[in-house]
Structure 1
Amino acid sequence: MEAVTVAAQARERLRASFASGRTRPAAWRAAQLRGLLRMAVEMEAEICAALRADLAKPRTESYVHEISLVTSSCKFALKNLQKWMKPKKVPAGLLTFPSTARVTAEPLGVVLVISAWNYPFLLAIDPVIGAIAAGNAVVLKPSEIAPATSSLLADLLPQYVDSSCIKVVEGGVAETTALLEQKWDKIFYTGNSKVGLIVMSFAAKHLTPVVLELGGKCPVVVDSNVDLHVTAKRIAAGKWGCNNGQACISPDYIITTKSFAPKLLDSLSKVLEKFYGKDPLRSADLSRIVNSNHFNRLKALMDEEMVYDKIVFGGQSDEQQLKIAPTLLLDPPLDSAIMKEEVFGPLLPIITVDKIHESFALINSMSKPLAAYLFSKDSKLKHQFERNVSAGGMVFNDTSIHLTNQHLPFGGVGESGVGSYHGTFSFDAFAHKKAVLDRSFLGEAKARYPPYTPGKLKILKGVLKGNPLAMVQAAVGCTGGA
């Protein structure tokens, strides 16, 4: 009951603030965005410490993958806010002459943002930036699985933004459920697809629109026509250099040809040893697994009877440290758990095919991924990959970096997500595009009104077909004998 009360009170207080019009002016929105920007800059050390406590995340990754992306989003929103808010004129059309037409972006109201644990600062603040830019009041529910970051956000946000319109609600399943039971004007959820289904079922009770940023098995197709060393480094950076594989756009499995696989394996092994040393479990540059539940899940994927003997590199683990080394597996069965579930960790299966084009059918036999990657110098192969593989996003000759481009939408398709954000797409995710037609009292056409006659219908047909003479007749009231 207490959780429900807290949730209801948070929503009602913010609804009252929104109803007052407080969040609508550009000056208020810009002030909140500047506050978030100052928070990210001034509290860098504290944010890095919280991320270290939650995930043993290296400071470099904390800054590059979280703090810098938040500051970039704030700056981009501040630079473009006036343009996004400005009504956009569109053609009015001759049918409504004389008139003007525009599309006005209005805030949805009071929105709920539920963030994830793997990038607990970025995935909490980035959607909030879009919600604020669009003029909404926001309730943020950080992930309880990253408690240090959740606590830090609850402490910091009231110091930097308007707490009458932006509120943090901490807690676990009970608090999240209580929040979902309330009626919101939009729900933005980042996490796994199982919880995504739950979020959508709650939203359906109130016909609440949702953005679901989920995940999926992101494939990496590696052609033989590549710079092998660069390819190996970029795959490793996107897999293990992003939270030790605990990322929704992390490479989930590789597809390459049987003939090229030994070269790729050798290159990846050398790169991993250079990145993390001969004993990666001692590396300070490798994030730990977030908790024992996820550690045990990943161990079970590795230890499955049909998979265990497929490990060709790595495989070490330390339950006390919650660390698992970068691990490569060669051709685990496609019906094994590691090939059916999203890995979300440091295990990387490599699947071999006879011809690289066979990768298309293999990818398409699975759920649509959040991202798909292809390494190749072959322009024709790139074109075929783009045309034949459906994914939320796509990168050629690198992994994960598309999320840094504020001009690109970031989101899934099918089971990997609903909706997108980043840059202008974040603003659009939290704004309603309202159609506005402003017509003069002039230009009455008798042909549109009853009583209908064949003459009037003839004129109306001409108007609908764009016949200039019919438009003139309609305007001057020629009704064909009516």
Structure 2
Amino acid sequence: MSEKEFPYIDHIYHLQRENRLAIQRTTIKERIQLLKKLENEILLARDAIVDALHKDFRKSKIEAESTELFPVLSEIRLFIKNLKDWSASKSVSNNLVFFGSKAKIVYEPKGNCLIISPWNYPFQLAVVHLVACIAAGNTAIVKPSEFAPATNQVLNSIFGKVFESNHVQLIYGEVEETTYLLSKKFDHIHFTGSPKVGKIVMAAGAKHLASVTLELGGKSPLIIDGTLDIKTVVSKAIWGKLINNGQTCIAPDYLLIKEELKEEFISTFIQHMEKTFGKNPMESPDLARIINLRNFDRIQSLVENAIDGGANCPYGNEYVRSELYIKPTLLTDIPDDAEILFEEIFGPVFPMITYQNIQEITKFINDREKPLALYIYSKNQELIDFIVHNTSSGAVLVNETLLHIMHPNLPFGGVNNSGIGRSTGRFGFEDFSHSKPVLQVNQWFSPTKFINYPYTGFTQKIVNLMMKYL
């Protein structure tokens, strides 16, 4: 628990605790109206959001709109269209024991929620989970990362125009404020960030037996077997890695490539980089920057550690500290003990690992923590199926990168070290809801009519029949 106290946080917290029942009683129509209002305010603030993301990351307009605004607007529209159906009570079938009974699942709000969002997609990840939270009928305190101050200001302005503070409130601050919030009793905590901090969040939730959703990270592999055109593979791999300059939780973290393809991949990689970004990628308006010096130094240290250990660098390894610029970097022949093979990179660095057979692939992946995503570039369905069924990951995407997070009917989340719980779409609504079973038993056929006290030989016969047939 933080030693420092924050009266403002206490005030907002108590306002939302007192208001939670009123928010839980809001109708689906009222929640949809709030979502429409949120959509409208986001559209009105479109230019301000793009400008803020450029200040925080030097993100291009296209990248800001396609990776930050579009996913949020898409999620809002998905909820507006489907919330009535998702929130409706669902009848379930009975077996013979409950003949004549009525059984259903009722979705109720969890209550007071805390959403802790990260810096790498500061607009998208703060809002997309808030959409599910308020659609489910909860209150929310949103604690964004302090590393994206310009975006946070725009977020705060939008929230203030859509919600009362006793419903939704953004809280500024750093580690102390986050720690203080985690000392409070929430009904649900949604955290996006690193596994290290995820463990702290989970421990904080356990103190109050709060449910917790963790969207973490991990070293997501990208497998290349050579059955697809190498130029296409290189193009897609570079796009998936360099979106947000590699600062994406589902970015491919390292390449697993068939050994005989190594030299062809290297030459194709260099050709594509020069064709796409020019001889000096720093001059390209399409590449974002590293968020701050701490992460800049961490990434540079990982690369230097690998090279000092004997790795080769056919492209990259150039830095402009004053610009937070790291040239996209390709590493080969990496020593087994290099730090970059164990720590999530979160930057524009491509470590390449070669393999000879499919068993080497699965062993390399399974010897590490379970990744958030796993990418396979192949036409070989047998290889694809083998990897899917012999590895564990939050998701598998074949012949593309990143796009699975945009699918409206697929859940997003990790497994163990890469995350707990599911988000987005219907899965996000259910994550912020309690699925409450309601059973209304038909008294003429109630099971207790046959197995209630006093126990007799007839009771035993009924139990025997149940054991045998039901």
TM value normalised by structure 1:
0.93
**SS of 1:373's equivalent?**
strand
Tell me the residue number matched to 2:65: 63
Equivalents in 2 of 1:155, 1:348: separation in Å? 38
1:298 paired with 2:299, answer: yes
Residue 389, structure 1, aligned to residue 391, structure 2: yes
Report 1:91-102 matches (<5 A). 91-102=93-104
Is contact 1:115–1:123 with CA below 8 Å preserved after alignment? yes
Q: What is the aligned partner in structure 1 of residue 91 from structure 2?
A: 89
* Aligned position for 1:474: none
CA contact (8 A) 1:219 1:372 kept: yes
- 1:11 equivalent to 2:16? Answer no
Opposite residue 172 of structure 2, the aligned amino acid is E
Partner of 2:413: 411
Correspondences of 1:66-465 after superposition (within 5 Å):
66-240=68-242, 242-304=243-305, 306-307=308-309, 309-443=311-445, 446-463=449-466, 465=468
Contact 1:412/1:419 (8 A) holds in 2: yes
CA distance in 2, matches of 1:419, 1:358: 30
Which portions of structure 1, spanning 4 or more consecutive aligned residues, are displaced by more than 6 angstroms?
Answer: none
Task: Map residues 30-45 of structure 1 onto 2, 5 A cutoff.
Answer: 30-45=32-47
How far residue 448 of structure 1 moved from its aligned partner, in angstroms, is 2.1
Residues 65 and 190 (structure 1 numbering): CA distance in 2 closer, same or farther, change over 3 Å?
A: same
Worse-matched range after superposition: 28-37 or 289-298: 28-37
In structure 2, C-alpha distance between the alignment counterparts of 1:185 and 1:254, rounded to whole Å: 40
**Residue 307 of structure 1: CA displacement?**
4.6
Evaluate the alpha carbon distance shift between residue 200 and residue 354 of structure 1 in structure 2; reply closer, same or farther with a 3 A threshold: same
- The one-letter amino acid of 1:462's match is L
Distance 1:308 1:302, change over 3 A: farther
Partner Cα distance (2:7, 2:464) in 1: 59
The whole-number CA distance in structure 1 between the counterparts of 2:436 and 2:252 is 39
TM normalised by structure 2 equals: 0.96
Question: Against the structure 1 CA distance between its residues 279 and 91, is the aligned structure 2 distance closer, same or farther, given a 3 Å change threshold?
Answer: same
1:26 corresponds to 2:37: no
Q: Tell me by how many angstroms 1:5 deviates.
A: 2.6
Report the Cα distance in structure 1 between the residues aligned to 2:250 and 2:265, rounded to whole angstroms.
Answer: 21
Q: Matched residues in 2 for 1:184 and 1:192: separation?
A: 21
**SS of equivalent residue, structure 1 residue 20:** helix
Offset, 1:23: 5.2
CA shift for structure 1 position 7: 2.5
Q: 1:117 is aligned with what amino acid?
A: W
Q: Secondary structure at the match of 1:226?
A: coil
Q: CA shift at 1:438, angstroms?
A: 1.1
Compared with structure 1, are the counterparts of its residues 345 and 21 closer, same or farther at alpha carbon in structure 2 (3 Å cutoff)? closer
Q: 3-state SS of the aligned residue for 1:229?
A: helix
Distance 1:303 1:74 in 2: 43
Q: Which amino acid aligns with 2:440?
A: D
Distance 2:288 2:309 in 1: 24
Cα separation, 1, equivalents of 2:164 and 2:29: 12
**Greater shift after overlay, 80-89 or 301-310?**
301-310
Q: What are the Cα deviations for residues 93-115 of structure 1, in whole angstroms up to 9, with x where unaligned?
A: 33233310000111000100000
RMSD: 1.6
Q: Which segment is superposed worse, 448-457 or 44-53? A: 448-457
CA distance in 2, matches of 1:446, 1:326: 72
* AA partner of residue 462 (structure 2): I
Q: 1:293 to 1:440 in 2, by over 3 A?
A: same
Structure (1 or 2) with the larger CA radius of gyration:
1
Q: Structure 1 regions of 5+ residues with no counterpart?
A: 468-482
Amino acid at match of 1:9: H
Q: Is the Cα contact below 8 Å between 2:142 and 2:170 reproduced in 1? A: yes
Q: Cα gap change, 1:67/1:446 in structure 2, threshold over 3 Å: closer, same or farther?
A: closer
Match of 1:471 in 2: none
Q: Is the 8 A contact 1:57 1:287 kept in 2?
A: yes
| Long gaps (5+) in structure 2 | none
Task: Give the share of equivalent positions with the same residue, in percent.
Answer: 36
Change (3 A) 1:3 1:243: farther
Deviation at 1:167, TM superposition (A): 1.0
Secondary structure of 1:415's partner?
A: coil
